[in-house]
Structure 1
């Protein structure tokens, strides 16, 4: 499936075949593609907790307001992030870069994130996770699977369930699997004129 088709056909599917088993090669391919998602300064601050164990899924479903897609989809992916990834041996992020590039960019990482503060560090995780989540959903669609992004869960319960380390945060979850029922028809897109502006907001925008 080409990229344009995947974008057009990707929907938030709620109903999955609980008996379907994703081939291991497909799972590995999906996560390999997720790791190509861009991050600021290449700090790769996203973290992915892929819940596949049946009992763990049941617990996750309970923390997600008993939403069936958590257990019925083949994968339940909790997208998290390390807010301090920028400070953890940042030279790793440029190990294959020319020395001049590494010498220039690595000091810039510390300078940017120490002066920007905790809010930017947190926001950076959310931006990175959002991009990675879309990568996962489009890749899944291109591979013949469906997905559902989710924010309907108790973050404290999920954090405890997955053993979220200190300094890490949860962005959202994605269920991935084989649909048994399509998503509802698109309920209505806003007109382009209401959400796309050229150069600046119009004076009457609110």
Structure 2
């Protein structure tokens, strides 16, 4: 499947085969591809929480308006972000790069974000969104379907997964084998509404 087909055929699927078990090699490849998503300063501040425990998923489903895809999909991903990633040793992001690159980028990261709570949260949202879209397109390439979800109680889910201090919970993505197709795709807004050139 080429990129265009992947984008055109990706749909938000609500119904999954609850008997399907994702092979470990598929899960590993899905994670590998997701980690190729771009992030500011290469901080990779997104975190992938992989939920496979059936009892826990049942509790998460109760906190998600009893939506069946939470338990029926092969794997449930919860997209999170480390709000303190900018404070880490920049060598873990750029230690492989030439020294001149390390000398430029490394010292820039912390002061760029330090004390800017809104920017940090904005960056967390951007990174989880980029990683989430990468995950969904990768899943489609591997023969799976997915569904981005914000329909859940974030406080309840945070407690269920023991979300650490300094970590932000973004959204959930069930991934599995569909048992029922999606509704017809919703209408796309016109170019006149969506697209602007140079200025508004």
**Normalization by structure 2: what TM-score?**
0.98
**Cα distance in 2, alignment partners of residues 191 and 122 from structure 1:** 31
What is the CA-CA distance between 1:121 and the residue it aligns to? 0.5
**Cα distance in 2, alignment partners of residues 3 and 95 from structure 1:** 32
Q: How does 1:128-139 map to 2 (within 5 A)?
A: 128-139=127-138
| Unmatched segments (≥5 aa) in structure 1 | 202-206
What is the CA-CA distance between 1:111 and the residue it aligns to? 1.6
| Unmatched segments (≥5 aa) in structure 2 | none
Counterpart of 2:183 in structure 1 is 184
**Cα distance in 2, alignment partners of residues 187 and 5 from structure 1:** 18
* Structure 2 SS opposite 1:150: coil
**Cα distance in 2, alignment partners of residues 64 and 103 from structure 1:** 46
Counterpart of 1:32 in structure 2 is 32
Counterpart of 1:48 in structure 2 is 48
Counterpart of 1:125 in structure 2 is 124
Corresponding pairs, count: 200
**Cα distance in 2, alignment partners of residues 190 and 119 from structure 1:** 30
**Cα distance in 2, alignment partners of residues 66 and 153 from structure 1:** 9
What is the CA-CA distance between 1:88 and the residue it aligns to? 1.4
* 1:144 to 2:143 alignment: yes
What is the CA-CA distance between 1:90 and the residue it aligns to? 2.0
Residues 104-141 of structure 1 deviation map (CA, whole Å, 9 limit, x = unaligned): 111100121116x1110011000000000000111111
What is the CA-CA distance between 1:189 and the residue it aligns to? 0.9
Counterpart of 1:194 in structure 2 is 193
**Cα distance in 2, alignment partners of residues 82 and 11 from structure 1:** 28
Counterpart of 1:204 in structure 2 is none
Q: For the aligned residues, what is the CA RMSD?
A: 0.8
* Structure 2 SS opposite 1:175: strand
